[in-house]
Structure formats: C-alpha cells, structure tokens
Amino acid sequence: MNNLVWFRNDLRVRDNISLAKACSGNQVLGIYCFDPVLFRIGDYGFKKTERFRARFLIETIIQLKDNLKKLNIPLFVYVDNPEKRIPKFIGEHDVHTVFLQKEWTQEENETRDAVVAKVSSSVNFEESYDQFLFHPDDIPYVSFQQIPRVFTKFRKKCETYTRVRPVLESPKAKPSTNLIENNTVVPSLRDLGLSNLSNDTRTAFPFQGGETNAQKRVQDYFWETQKLAFYKKTRNGLVGQGYSSKLSPWLANGSISARTIYWEVKEFERTVKKNQDTYWLVFELIWRDFFKYVSLKHGNQIFRIEGILNKKYDWKTSKKITEQWISGQTEDPFINANMREIARTGWMSNRGRQNVASFWSRVLEQDWRIGAAYFESMLLDYDVHSNWGNWMYNSGVGNDPRNRIFNSKRQAERYDPNGKFQALWLQETLF
C-alpha cells in the first residue's frame, strides 16, 4: 500500500504538511500534472498561463523532483489532466491514501471532484490547508462568514489571538529499497505549446523557480544583504531586485511556506535587528492571508463584475483600449512603462500594479475582470486570491474602505521622481 502526494500549489519538501503526513507511511510517491487546460486560452481571450510563469513552474518541478529524489521519493510528472491521469496512476500503484493541499476555488474543486469520482471509494483523500500564515483552525472567527470586510480589523484581531505554527521538521529519507521506476520527464515550454523565452536584462526578477532558489533568496535578502532591515522604506520601489523581497512567485506556487518566512523574520529580529521594516514584511504576509480569507468567505463572487460589494458601474469593453493598455501605448507614460515591464518580464512592482489597475478600471472604466485575466496570464507570481482580491480592491468593488482612484501623474512624480523607471521601459518601441 502506497501513500501518494498530489502536488498542486505546495511545490516544496520543507514544511509541507501533506508530504509530512504521507511520510508516516512506508512507501511514498509524488505526482504532478501540468494540466493542459491551464495553458489554453481562458474566458477573456488570454492564455491562462503565459511563458514567464510556465518556465518558472518547469524550473520549480525540476527542483522538486531532485529534492524528493534525495528522500527516495519519486515524483511522477505528466502533461495531462489530473482527472485522467491520477485515477489511472492510483489503480496502477496500489495507492491507499492521497495527500493534497486544500484549495477552494471553483476550478480546483472541480478537478479534485473529478479525480475523486473516478477512483474506488476505498482510496482516502486527505486535504490540508497549507498556504496560510494563520491556519484557518487558529483564527479568532467561528466561521469564514465572520471575516471582516476591512483588513485592519482582521489583522489586529489575528495578531492578538493567533500564533503562527512552527515550521515542520524536514521528512527523513525513505529506505532506498523497492524504489519504483520513474521514467517520466519534466516538459519543456514547447511541450506545453509555448515558445522559448529570452531574458530581458532590465528585469527586476532575475531569479529562477524552485524551493532551493526560494531559500537562496531568503538567504540573500535577509542575511547577506540585510535588506529586510530597510524593507518598509524601499518597498514602493520600481527598479532592480532589491526594493522588496520578491518572494511572491515562490510563495504563489508553494515553493516556500509563509510560515518559513515568518519564522525567518523572527530569527532576524532576534539576532540582527527588529524594527518597523522587519514587522512590515509580516504585515504584508497578513495581507496575503486576508485575500485568501476573503475568497473563502465570498467564493465565486470574487470573479463577478459586481465583486464582493455588489456594486454596479457602467463598465466598458473596448478592444482598442485593451490593446493600448497591454502594449503600453496609452497617454500616460508611467502606466505605459509598467505595462511594458510586465509584457517583457512577467513582473510588476506593487506600486505599478496598483496604478495600472486603477487606471484600467477607474480612469478608462474598462471591465476590471479583463485586466485581472491579463495579469493572471502574465504574472510570474499569479495567485488566484491575491490577484482577483487586489483587482477588486483597486476597481471599487472590493475591500477598500476609501475607494481610492490613483492619480498616476502624481504617483510618478512621487515614486519615480527622476524618471529612471520610465526611461528604462520607454526607451524602445516594443510592439
């Protein structure tokens, strides 16, 4: 009888609840499916996953496979729908229990249900929430319906009543006897129907995917350069790798846990420095949790045009305006610079994201979901809850109590006073 870990957005060996639970059994196998659905055109006309995140994911799976191999756990990798591949795999490999991270958005639920429906009822599925800083069982709310609409309320209550769980001990290697042969290979971009990608030297995210690379980034940002000690002062930056932690792409696919980062901050505070800046990184991780709880509370409402506020606006949809926004050819140079950055690198700063989202939805009055779907396609760090939650927030249909519209000219003057960022991205015609 084998235990199977079905990896989804928990692509790590360290501090992985499903893997730790599976390792209590004798023989452990891992499976990962590159689901072709995620590389096709979605509802708004964009590929659900473009090359930037696809390549990052490939790099991530290569490292996961290597790291699991060191524990004598084979990772079987397929380009196939989970609902087709996993039931077959379970049948062929005498699987007793499947361990997986609990997701709750519609597409992920449908995929899981389709897998469960196709396997014998004697196979157990054990799901664990593993993407949070504050575990859902530990928060001071009896049900998700009680999650407040305003972030500050949520943060203060959780900070008072909830402790972040410790990081799990790393699993011990399994015996190397009876290893099951694994001839599966990690696909290339081409295997996923995508063309190759050349690197843009201007990128603020020059890193590769994978758990080991995530740990290296923590090592560098926290310990070697000690940039964490200045985080709050630099986090609104626009140019280069140092202005913020850049941990989001690894967090989004679970190459590193939020708990690991939290405890690393605590260690830094204990041994190097504790200040507003070190606290602020945790503050931002709480934002990340908040959007997950908003999505748990509101379900599919986060994808609807009225958002969670049920607000009606006169949304427009213009193909021409969409093309101008995407290609960075609007009348606003600061918006254009940011849009060119994401088109060329899959990355955009938080300051940039707020501005282009507000410009798209509040100034151009275009259907905010088109912008969110474009981000979903392009972003290296796409995370369903953070993306759709932040888009709602910036589009006047979400959690912003102030319902702000960004003045991009003033924002450019404040955050790009010498025009360095704009010069970097506007110096050439890209399209």
Ligand X SMILES: Cc1cc2nc3c(=O)[nH]c(=O)nc-3n(C[C@H](O)[C@H](O)[C@H](O)COP(=O)(O)OP(=O)(O)OC[C@H]3O[C@@H](n4cnc5c(N)ncnc54)[C@H](O)[C@@H]3O)c2cc1C
Residues in contact with ligand X by the rule CB under 6 A: 235, 244-248, 251-252, 281, 284-285, 287-288, 291, 349-350, 353-354, 357, 375, 379, 381-383, 386-387, 390-391, 394
Nearer to ligand X, 3 or 338 (CB): 338
Task: Please report, for residues 65, 140, 167, 342, 350, the alpha-carbon distance to residue 163 in angstroms, rounded to integers and kept in the order given.
Answer: 32, 11, 12, 36, 27
H or E element that contains 33: strand 27-33
Say if residue 383 carries a ligand binding annotation.
yes
Say if residue 244 carries a ligand binding annotation.
yes
Q: Minimal distance in Å, beta carbon 395 to ligand X?
A: 9
Say if residue 62 carries a ligand binding annotation.
no
Q: Minimal distance in Å, beta carbon 206 to ligand X?
A: 13
Distance CA 216, CA 241 (A): 14
Nearer to ligand X, 88 or 273 (CB): 273
Distance CA 243, CA 204 (A): 9
Q: Minimal distance in Å, beta carbon 335 to ligand X?
A: 13
Say if residue 231 carries a ligand binding annotation.
yes
- Which phi-psi region, left, alpha or beta, contains residue 119 (left: φ > 0; alpha: ψ -120 to 50)? beta
Asked if residues 232 and 277 have their Cβ atoms less than 8 Å apart, the reply is yes
Rounded to 5°, the CA angle 108-109-111 comes to 65
H or E element that contains 372: helix 368-378
Q: Minimal distance in Å, beta carbon 280 to ligand X?
A: 8
Say if residue 246 carries a ligand binding annotation.
yes
Say if residue 287 carries a ligand binding annotation.
yes
Say if residue 247 carries a ligand binding annotation.
yes
Q: Minimal distance in Å, beta carbon 247 to ligand X?
A: 4
Say if residue 245 carries a ligand binding annotation.
yes
For 366, the token pair is: 């275009």
Q: Minimal distance in Å, beta carbon 347 to ligand X?
A: 8
Nearer to ligand X, 87 or 237 (CB): 237
Nearer to ligand X, 96 or 235 (CB): 235
Nearer to ligand X, 27 or 245 (CB): 245
Nearer to ligand X, 63 or 244 (CB): 244
Q: Which residues pair with 127 in a beta bridge?
A: 100
Nearer to ligand X, 7 or 221 (CB): 221
Say if residue 325 carries a ligand binding annotation.
no
Distance CA 145, CA 297 (A): 5
Say if residue 381 carries a ligand binding annotation.
yes
Distance CA 289, CA 302 (A): 15
Q: Minimal distance in Å, beta carbon 65 to ligand X?
A: 24
Nearer to ligand X, 182 or 236 (CB): 236
- Would you say the C-alpha torsion 354, 359, 360, 361 has a positive or negative sign? positive
Mapped onto helix, strand or coil, the DSSP state of residue 47 is strand
Q: Minimal distance in Å, beta carbon 186 to ligand X?
A: 24
Say if residue 130 carries a ligand binding annotation.
no
Nearer to ligand X, 4 or 214 (CB): 214
Q: CA nearest 188: which of 57, 380, 5, 12?
A: 57
Q: Minimal distance in Å, beta carbon 188 to ligand X?
A: 25
Which are the contacts of 104, defined by CB distance < 8 A and separation ≥ 6?
Answer: 295, 296, 299
Asked if residues 77 and 32 have their Cβ atoms less than 8 Å apart, the reply is yes
For 151, the token pair is: 């972030």
Q: Which residues pair with 5 in a beta bridge?
A: 30, 99
* Ordered alpha helix ranges (H), 226-330: 231-234, 248-252, 258-271, 276-298, 319-326
Say if residue 153 carries a ligand binding annotation.
no
**Binding site: what residues are annotated?**
231, 244-248, 284-291, 381-383
**Binding site for FAD: what residues are annotated?**
231, 244-248, 284-291, 381-383
